Amino acid sequence: MKKLIVMACAALVTNISAAQEKGILGQQKTPHVHLKSINIGDCKWTEGFWADKFDVAENSMVPYMGEVLTGDVGHALNNFKIAAGLKEGKHKGMHWHDGDFYKWIEASMYVYAQNGDKDLLKEIDGYIDIIAKAQEDDGYLQTQVQLRSNVDRYENRKFHEMYNSGHLLTSACIHYRVTGQDNFLNVAKKHADYLYATFGSNEERLARFGFNQTQIMGLVEMYRTTSNENYLKLAEQFINNRGKYPVVETNETKGYPIGDMVQERVAIREADEAVGHAVLALYYYAGAADVASETGEKELVDALDRLWGNVTEKKMYVTGAVGQAHYGASTHRDKIEEGFIDAYMMPNMTAYNETCANVCNSMFSYRMLGIHGESKYADIMELVLYNSGLSGISLEGKDYFYSNPLRMVAGSRDYTKHNTETPTREPYLECFCCPPNIVRTIAKSSNWAYSLSQNGVAVNLYGGNRLKTQLEDGSDLILNQVSNYPWDGEVNITVEKAKKEAFDMMLRIPKWAEGTTIKVNNKELDIKVTEGEFAIVNRKWKKGDIVTIDMPMEVKLVEANPLVEEARNQVAVKRGPVVYCVETPDLPKDVNILDVYIKGAAPLKVNYDKDFLGGVATIETPILIRKDQDKKDMYSTVDRPEFEETKIKMVPYFTWNNRGQSEMTVFMPVIWNNL
């Protein structure tokens, strides 16, 4: 009997060790979080919206991107081959092109975790062999520096060495967790050890180098994967160095803006405003959240709370997009690019909203979801996923936007002067950071759908999927979710396997979902159901139990804070998590998008069409078209305006520009009374 007890205890320990050891965030032993990642591959999309998107990622996005990056167009693999001595040539692409390749490998691993395609793994391992050959004996690996005889290591931070390092470390950890192979991880260990030897001494010359902070996330994942505390110490050191040194131009900073642009004007623990380049800022905050989840430092978490609030409440678009301007200045009058400007300054037509920044917004929120266990963070993740994230890639998965404005007007800008802003999606962007970022996000989205709590599971995202995982205590759990979300607000979750003891099922009630009801086996529950919070159902679950969440999906008009001058007297249209837009293919011929006015009291009819734009719900509504606005003067006197009514359909914002070049707007002036 005693022997059986020992064996049972040993089995329980084995089960516990299996939970979260293969998560997107390797949080098996992370102490200071309320919710932890499920293992990669534990959840698979089965039908509906995200199953369709994953299918495109598997069969189009990832293969096509691979062709680009391993060929002569993207040239990323060629750079590694040249550095490895396998090919003659010069470095091509941006300084951060190595990182683009690592992100694509990461995306490939999420696909492999779902389909187990041995040919895909063999292909990736072949590329890893080349990367390993390109690595220097001491662990250094940066083709943009290795292939330039006139550039020294860490000579100037504009070469983005730390950014590439972060994506290398993260990608290698994901590869190891999915495959169990250490070939890529060994490259990452060698490189991380080199980083510690180089930067661990905290030499002042190098202290301001970590400005594009993916290395923080990468180092934390290396710590989680290897238990080497040097990596966590170095990650925290990079955080501590920001804001510690005088903001002056040095040889190491020439050629790239300084100060708020790279979040070095104010130390993060004292910060209360998101500033500078939006991608740099949000990677930094996400990395700091990873460190805080390991150390439990309250001062750091408090700062992240303030920054998250500043981003989402004062500097985020209705689509979840961030980074209002291509060029501008911070409140400290530092030059910034592709980033945050003043609170409530939210232009529509010139909105920059880099795809990477939008994706980073969801990454930061995912980490804050883990730290606090509050559903508001998953609301932002979802908002980005359905809107400003997906808008960065075409429906067929082969064309990309770098920036994601909320209004496009023909002839309003000379796009030859804006190399990352285009009126249409492009099959290849010279600055290729955004395409693999959105592709890896789509490929891993099922792994964001659930989290594990101390005594149960949290449902973060809705859609047809099947979860087969282990709870924190090592017990098996299988859930099957059926829904046509986001086009339908009804979700049914069937328990296929669960432990005998009671545990929590945390159901996210989105902020927009007023009037949501929850039933178990068709009986309404006497529990608190509040929009913007998790509804917690604690019970002894049994096989066959069905949880039904019914979220009303009324079409709603959304107005901005009155301080947002660019949207005064205008509204956007939103249904559930999906933001809509008006696009010229749906307008009468020769009607300018700026002539469109929405009728505030008009009916908004929802129609689902499985054959239109990949299968979407459109919104049919009458609008008013102004007929007397054919004026080109800067300012003109105006009499009583003339309007003509017509009926149109509005389409989800993420689908715009999939029917050829067009004009588009999210916000429209509103007329509440008929004229």
* pLDDT at residue 460, as a whole number: 98
Considering the domain boundaries, does residue 460 fall inside one?
Answer: no
- Could you say which DSSP state residue 473 is in? T
Claim to verify: residue 350 and residue 277 sit in the same structural domain: yes
* pLDDT at residue 3, as a whole number: 35
**Residue 647 tokens, joined:** 């009926």
* pLDDT at residue 7, as a whole number: 33
Task: Name the residue with tokens 């069969």.
Answer: 59
**Residue 624 tokens, joined:** 């008013």
Claim to verify: residue 182 and residue 309 sit in the same structural domain: yes
* pLDDT at residue 628, as a whole number: 76
Which pLDDT band holds residue 636 (cuts at 50, 70, 90)? Answer: confident
* pLDDT at residue 630, as a whole number: 66
* pLDDT at residue 631, as a whole number: 64
**Residue 526 tokens, joined:** 């006497």
SS3 letters for 149-215? Answer: CCCCCCCCHHHCHHHHHHHHHHHHHHHHHHHCCCHHHHHHHHHHHHHHHHHCCCCHHHCCCCCCCHH
* pLDDT at residue 206, as a whole number: 85
Which pLDDT band holds residue 674 (cuts at 50, 70, 90)? Answer: low
The CATH number given to whatever domain includes residue 539 is 2.60.40
- Could you say which DSSP state residue 322 is in? B
Claim to verify: residue 424 and residue 497 sit in the same structural domain: no
pTM of the model: 0.96
* pLDDT at residue 19, as a whole number: 58
Q: Which tens digits make up the pLDDT trace of 491-513?
A: 999 999 999 999 999 999 999 99
Which pLDDT band holds residue 633 (cuts at 50, 70, 90)? Answer: confident
Are the C-beta atoms of 300 and 269 separated by less than 8 Å? yes
Q: Which tens digits make up the pLDDT trace of 571-601?
A: 999 999 999 999 999 999 989 999 999 999 8
Claim to verify: residue 287 and residue 436 sit in the same structural domain: yes
* pLDDT at residue 15, as a whole number: 38
Q: Which tens digits make up the pLDDT trace of 356-379?
A: 999 999 999 999 999 999 999 999
Considering the domain boundaries, does residue 569 fall inside one?
Answer: yes
Residues 217, 219: Cα–Cα separation, whole Å: 6
Claim to verify: residue 184 and residue 305 sit in the same structural domain: yes
Considering the domain boundaries, does residue 613 fall inside one?
Answer: yes
Q: What's the whole-number average pLDDT of the chain?
A: 94
Considering the domain boundaries, does residue 465 fall inside one?
Answer: no
Claim to verify: residue 195 and residue 221 sit in the same structural domain: yes
Residues 309, 632: Cα–Cα separation, whole Å: 41
Q: Which tens digits make up the pLDDT trace of 86-115?
A: 999 999 999 999 999 999 999 999 999 999
Considering the domain boundaries, does residue 453 fall inside one?
Answer: no
Q: Which tens digits make up the pLDDT trace of 275-329?
A: 999 999 999 999 999 999 999 999 999 999 999 999 999 999 999 999 999 999 9
Domain boundary among 516, 550, 584: 550
The tally of domains found in the chain comes to 3
Domain boundary among 529, 550, 571: 550
Claim to verify: residue 58 and residue 203 sit in the same structural domain: yes
Q: Which of 124-133, 197-206, 312-321, 522-531 has the lowest mean pLDDT?
A: 197-206
| Beta strands across the sheet bearing 36-37 | 36-37, 450-453, 456-459, 503-509, 533-539
Claim to verify: residue 269 and residue 387 sit in the same structural domain: yes
52 sits in which H/E element: helix 49-56
Q: Which tens digits make up the pLDDT trace of 184-240?
A: 999 999 999 999 999 998 888 888 888 888 999 999 999 999 999 999 999 999 999
Q: Is the pLDDT at 1 greater than 70, yes or no?
A: no
Structural domain boundaries enclosing 243: 20-448
* pLDDT at residue 413, as a whole number: 83
Claim to verify: residue 654 and residue 533 sit in the same structural domain: no
* pLDDT at residue 565, as a whole number: 97
Which pLDDT band holds residue 420 (cuts at 50, 70, 90)? Answer: confident
Arithmetic mean of pLDDT, 65-77: 97
Considering the domain boundaries, does residue 370 fall inside one?
Answer: yes
The CATH number given to whatever domain includes residue 44 is 1.50.10.20
Are the C-beta atoms of 545 and 642 separated by less than 8 Å? no
* Burial classification of residue 149, based on how many CB atoms lie within 10 Å of its CB (0-12 exposed, 13-18 middle, 19 or more buried): exposed
Claim to verify: residue 387 and residue 508 sit in the same structural domain: no
Which residues, in sequence order, are CB contacts of 175 under 8 Å at separation 6+? 105, 106, 109, 124, 128, 181, 184, 185
Claim to verify: residue 227 and residue 89 sit in the same structural domain: yes
Claim to verify: residue 174 and residue 64 sit in the same structural domain: yes
Q: Is the pLDDT at 461 greater than 90, yes or no?
A: yes
